[in-house]
Amino acid sequence: MPRRVDLRTPALLGLPLGWLGVFFLVPIGIVGAYSVDILSIVPGSHSLTFAGWHDLFRDPVYLRLFWKSVEMSFIVSGVVVAFAYPLAYYLALSGTPRKYVLLLVLIAPFLTSYLLRVLAWKVILGNQGVINTFLFWSGLRSPDHPISQLLYSRFAVILVLAYIWLPFVALPIFVSLENLDRSLLEAAADLGASRWQAFLRVTLPLTTPGIVAAFLFVFIPTVGEFVTPSLVGGTTGYMYGNQITDLFGTGFPDWRTGAVLALFLLVVVAALTAVFSRFNRVEAV
Amino acid sequence: MEGEHDLAAHTITRRQLLKAAAAAGGAAVVVGRTGAAHAARAHLAAESGALQVLDWAGYEVPQLYGPYLKKHPGEKPKFTFMTNEANALAKMQAGFRPDVVRPYVGYVRDFATSGFVQPWDPRLIPNFKYLNPVMVKAGQYQGKQWGIPADWGFDAILYRSDKVKPKERSWSLLLDDRYAGRIAWFDDLNQLVWAGYYLGFKTPYDQSDEELKRSQDLLIKKKKNVRMFWSSETDMDNAFASGDIWIAFAWPNDWVLMKAKKLPVVYMRPKEGALSWVGMLMLGKGTPRYRHAHDFADAWSSVKSAAWLENNYGYGEANTKARPSSSDLLKVLQLANPNAVREPNAHIDRYVPRRRVYAKMWEEVKAA
Amino acid sequence: MDVALSRNGRRALRALFAAVVLFLYAPIVLLLVFSFNSSVLPTFPLSGFTLEWYRQFLSDGELHGALEASAIVAALSSLGAVALGLLASTAIARRRFRGKAALSALLLSPLVIPYVVFGVSLLLLFHTLGVQRSLLTVVIGHVVITLPYTILVLVPRLQQIDRALEEAAYDLGAPPRTTFLLVVLPLIAPAIVSSFLIAFTTSFDEYAVASFVVGTRNTFPIYLYGALRFPSRLPEVIAVAVVVLCASLVVVIAAEAWRRVAERRLVG
């Protein structure tokens, strides 16, 4: 069988890698340049300075905001994974014949519009929104006392983000459970373990990579989230991503601080991803 | 200020439009009779291309410069939008050269010294003599007319009189613990300014480090009472109308809108003084459409355009002859008083020497 | 005996599943209900039936312009992403070379970058190069974002295809390009369509990155975000929301169903 000389791999990869190089890697480098004043929006001459980075660690305001966003993302990811696991378990292990159809039904909302689903909650949560007016109408609350913490609050951001991500998260956990070797569970049963014990000692440990993957799939995008907080967050739901957006567009432009904040987020995310892939590789049996 | 408006609610009847066009046409006939106008027309003929205007969303509506369209038929200005002055300056630094730009009065000096704009020649603006002299003065820097005043209004406090009983007529209402979760502030560094007035500083537009820290600390401490920082006016109107907020840092038009929705509202001028703002049309340096730009400013300054602005957007216009049809608006804008926008009645926005520091402090308030 | 679930366990989980599905779809159904409600404010109790908001949607020129802009951006960026993705996937699935793991990671890395960071980085790139922001800059950004999705769909499919078919073609003397066109391409066609659709729907709905690099012409999500702040436009926006949500649900489900059927038929 004639072996073709493999000249074409570089040609195949050249274009995609080139595109990513120019429109993905170079821009990140430019962000770095802005963060150290090599490039600047302020006219005049500039020299390399780490003052922006220095300020980030010296004045803890922005780091505290980052931590607040991390906390919120943690809650969202935790809640979402906690709900998604039993759902995926049901689909994968209950033996229901239509599991792929049901999986699709579960995932489909995620593939529709993000903004429109946030809009739906804006309609539902306001003082005159669906929940409150329903409570007035049914007499459970007087119209003078709506539950106002529903909208423009930290709670609203967490609720809406959880709603957005829940469908998506079921998938990696489902895959993990699908790949579970049923015979292991049977062996556990043979050895006298109850279903709970089998779950805790066999299923859960073996599907941990799926859980961790699912958790990170939500956590990483959510830390930098700014769209939902800007629509339903009010003052208490203000997140790290909003700060970055304000520094670049909507507020008084301070591109150096914005670049520092953006790069900091990227470094944290990259570190998390790297740690996770190492963890994942170790777990691969 | 952002002029995002609910245009769907403000339909113009054909009658009104035709009236505006007729008035503009009449004006053009009169002007054409003078010799100076002949020379002007010669200059005009030499300028070409559409007028490039860097303006706020909502101001691209043709009724705001009707006379311009009458004088230059078929030459619609081309609009690019700005969301704040600092961004506009950044755009211009990056090479964008509009013929006309509209910063607000606090930025007159910043733009005048930027090198991207040039002073106007008021002789080329026939309506100039009708403009409010206080506002005209505010548009001057080092004796030259850098800004032609156009839209204007106040920053004060709007509140629900049925739900809110202020302890005093003061900016303190925006800090009131009794109404936690019902208050809205404006997303802008000028919040540090009213905080400064509340704290009794001498020059809140130019606070020292200690003063700024105190203002910032006050805002951070009371932030827990604030439900939202609004940046889009209709966002705030929506929340106010639906009862999500009862107290807001607001403009006169918001009072008019809420009254129209039959809400019991009061537009309160704090005893420390309300703030006021004036939009300033500015002329791009080296613009090839010099006369067109002046005609544009003149069109904005016409009584018809001014009245339209007042009736439809609830802002005042610098032309002292323009009157809105709503008596409510007349009252709240204090249009009978030509000194309404300045001390002692209000604190007109002005140059903030330490604007960058103010901006940083405000971002920190939001992050805290 | 079922080793994974007891009967009660199954019942409990089934109930949970139903409850969650209800929770997921309820807001969408609520939007549907309110899109026919005659009041301007979406509140209970309902005030009356009307088709007015759909009528407004049909005659709103600005909205149509935004939908059109998004369609153009989505089509162009998906074509680009699929083309680049096909090239990259072929290399990954079919070739052995050093650093494959690292390069694959690089090609998939746009998946993990927070959109706020990527948006900012593109904004700075175009500002530094003096490139005017426009629909084209949005296309560029969307190609980067959707490229990993196309690769994730195409690589498994390429790996699935029995290489014996290609080898047979070579043996018969067919040059590699012909082999690709006549043997491989038809077999991966459903996957190509699938990846195109995923890229298309992702781009059509994308707001975060677009908000940083869009020019004067709005895309649909940008228009939507702005309209969310106009109270009297809310009912019309809700009508639009219902149409777009239902359309995308139908497209997604139909596409997935079709792909499964098509691939099962193209056994290979």
- Does residue B339 sit within a domain? no
CA C123 to the chain's CA centroid: 23
- What 3-state class would DSSP assign to C37? strand
Residues B146 and B187 in one domain: no
Q: Quick one: tokens of C23?
A: 């929770």
C144–A13: do the CB atoms touch at under 8 Å? no
The number of angstroms, rounded, from the C-alpha of B209 to the middle of its chain's C-alpha atoms is 29
What's the CA gap between B361 and B365, in Å, rounded?
A: 6
CA distances from C78 to A182, C155, C156 (A): 40, 17, 19
Other chains touching C, judged by 3 or more CB pairs under 8 Å: A, B
Task: Tell me the three-class secondary structure of chain B, residue by residue.
Answer: CCCCCCHHHCCCCHHHHHHHHHHHHHHHHHHHCCHHHHHHHHHHHHCCCCCEEEEECCCCCHHHHHHHHHHCCCCCCEEEEECCHHHHHHHHHCCCCCCEECCEHHHHHHHHCCCCEECCCHHHCHHHHHECHHHHHHCEECCEECEEEEEEEEEEEEEECCCCCCCCCCHHHHHCHHHCCCEEEECCCCHHHHHHHHCCCCCHHHCCHHHHHHHHHHHHHHHHHEEEEECCHHHHHHHHHCCCCCEEEECHHHHHHHHHCCCCEEEECCCCCEEEEEEEEEEECCCCCHHHHHHHHHHHCCHHHHHHHHHHHCCEECECCCCCCCHHHHHHCCCCCCCCCCCCCEEECCCCCCHHHHHHHHHHHHHC
pLDDT at A94: 79
Which of the residues A131, A252, A255 would you substitute to probe the B interface, choosing the one with the greatest number of B C-beta atoms within 10 Å? A252
Q: Which helix (DSSP H) or strand (DSSP E) does residue C244 occupy? A: helix C234-265
In the complex, which subunits touch B with 3 or more CB pairs below 8 angstroms?
A, C
Q: Give a yes or no: residue A158 inside a domain.
A: yes
Distance from CA of A86 to the nearest CA of C (A): 7
Distance CA B318, CA B147 (A): 12
For the record, the structure tokens of B192 come out as 């540090």
In a domain, A50, yes or no: no
B103-162 per-position pLDDT tens digit: 999 999 999 998 899 999 999 999 999 999 999 999 999 999 999 999 999 999 999 999
Measured between beta carbons, the chain A residues lying within 8 angstroms of C103 are 13, 17
Measured CA to CA, the distance from residue B117 to residue B99 in angstroms comes to 9
Q: At B179, which CATH number?
A: 3.40.190.10
Q: Specify the pLDDT at position C222.
A: 87
Please count the CA atoms within 13 angstroms of the CA of A97 that sit on its side-chain side.
Answer: 0
More confident of the two residues B313 and C150: C150
pLDDT digits (tens, 9 = 90+) for B128-137: 999 999 999 9
CB contact under 8 A, C143 and A19: yes
ipTM of the complex, rounded to two decimals: 0.85
Largest CA distance in chain C: 74
Minimum-distance CB partner of B94 among C127, C230, C232: C127
- The total number of structural domains in chain B stands at 2
How many angstroms away from the CA of A254 is the closest CA of chain B? 8
Residue B243 within a domain: yes
Which residue from C127, C226, C231 is facing B238, i.e. has the nearest CB?
C231
Predicted local distance difference test score (pLDDT) of residue B45: 65
- Tell me which H or E stretch contains C116: helix C115-129
Q: Which of B71, B116, B112 is nearest to B97 (CA)?
A: B116
The shortest C-alpha distance from A33 to chain B (Å) reads 17
Say which CATH class C60-265 falls into: mainly alpha
Q: How confident is the model at residue B222 (pLDDT cuts 50, 70, 90)?
A: very high
Q: What's the mean pLDDT in B207-231? A: 93
> What are the structure tokens assigned to B260, written together?
């129209």
* pLDDT attached to residue C86: 92
Domain ranges of chain C: 60-265
State whether residue B366 sits within 8 Å of chain A by CB.
Answer: yes
Q: C27 is written with which tokens?
A: 């807001």
Contact assignment for B363 to A249 by CB distance below 8 Å: no
C-alpha distance across the termini of chain A, in Å: 35
Phi, psi of B69 (to 5 degrees): -70, -30
Q: Tell me what pLDDT residue B11 has.
A: 34
Beta-carbon neighbour count of residue B285 at 10 Å?
13
Tell whether C124 lies on the interface with A, counting CB pairs under 8 A. yes
Interface contact C128, partner A, CB < 8 A = yes
Percentage above 70 pLDDT, chain A? 94
Range of the domain at B114: 7-152+276-332
Among the listed residues A165, A275, A274, the one whose alpha carbon sits nearest the alpha carbon of residue A225:
A165
**Interface check B113 vs A, CB under 8 A:** no
How far is the C-alpha of A195 from the C-alpha of A186, rounded, in Å? 10
pLDDT tens, position by position, C201-213: 889 989 999 988 8
Mutation choice for C interface testing from B2, B5, B6 by most C CBs within 10 A: B6
**Which chain B residues are within 8 Å of C41, Cβ to Cβ?**
242
Interface contact B359-A62, CB threshold 8 A: no
Q: Are A72 and A78 in contact (CB under 8 A)?
A: no
Determine whether the interchain pair B234/C231 forms a contact, defined as Cβ–Cβ distance below 8 Å.
yes
Distance between CA B158 and CA B246 in Å, rounded? 8
Q: Do B242 and B360 sit in the same domain of this protein?
A: yes
pLDDT over 70 (residue B274): yes
Question: CA C260 to CA B269: how far, in whole Å?
Answer: 67
pLDDT more than 70, % of chain B: 87
Please list, in sequence order, all residues whose beta carbon lies within 8 angstroms of the beta carbon of residue B243, skipping any fewer than 6 positions away.
A127, A128, A146
Residues B323 and B247 reside in one and the same domain = no
Please give the residue that has the higher pLDDT: either B251 or A130. Answer: B251
B195 and B295: one domain?
Answer: no
Q: What is the pLDDT of residue C54?
A: 85
Candidate from B4, B81, B95 with C-beta closest to C130: B95
Task: Specify whether B148 is located in the same domain as B189.
Answer: no
Per-residue confidence (pLDDT) for residue C42, from 0 to 100: 66
Query: Does B4 lie at the interface with A, CB-CB under 8 angstroms?
Result: no
The pLDDT-based confidence of A209 (bands split at 50, 70, 90) is confident
Inter-chain residue contact B9 with C232, CB threshold 8 Å: yes
Residue B314 pLDDT class (50, 70, 90 cuts): confident
Q: Which structural domain, as residue segments, surrounds residue A178?
A: 60-283
Determine, yes or no, domain membership for A30: no
Beta pairing partners, B80: B54
- Residue A6 within a domain: no
With 80 as the cut, is the pLDDT of residue B9 above it?
no
Determine the pLDDT at residue C267.
Answer: 59
CB-CB under 8 Å, A234 with B228: yes
pLDDT tens digits for C161-218?
Answer: 877 777 888 888 878 777 777 888 888 888 898 899 889 988 998 999 998 888 778 8
Chain C hits for A15, Cβ within 8 Å: 84, 87
Residue B367 and residue A65: Cβ atoms within 8 Å?
yes
Pairwise CB contact (< 8 Å): C230 & B81? no
The answer to whether residues B266 and B298 belong to one domain is no
- What's residue C53's pLDDT? 83
Contact C141 A244 (CB under 8 A): no
**Does the distance separating the beta carbons of A126 and B367 come in below 8 Å?**
no
pTM above the 0.90 mark?
no
- The CATH number covering residue A176 comes to 1.10.3720.10
Tokens representing C116 are: 């706020």
Interface contact A152, partner B, CB < 8 A? yes
Q: Does B355 lie at the interface with A, CB-CB under 8 angstroms? A: yes
Chain B: nearest CA to A90, how far in angstroms? 41
List chain A residues with CB under 8 Å of C225.
115, 227, 231
| Domain-located, residue B206 | yes
Can you read off the two tokens belonging to residue B146? 């850098």
Q: Are B218 and B241 contained in the same domain?
A: yes
pLDDT tens, position by position, for chain C (268 residues)?
677 778 888 889 999 999 999 999 988 888 888 888 877 666 666 778 888 888 888 888 778 888 999 999 999 999 999 999 999 998 888 777 778 888 888 999 998 899 999 999 999 999 888 888 889 999 999 999 999 999 998 998 888 887 777 788 888 887 877 777 788 888 888 889 889 988 998 899 899 999 888 877 889 898 888 777 655 677 787 788 788 878 877 877 787 777 778 777 765 4
B367 and A151: CB-CB below 8 Å?
no
Preceding omega of B338 cis (within 30 degrees of 0): no
Q: Residue B3 and residue B79: Cα distance in Å, rounded?
A: 14
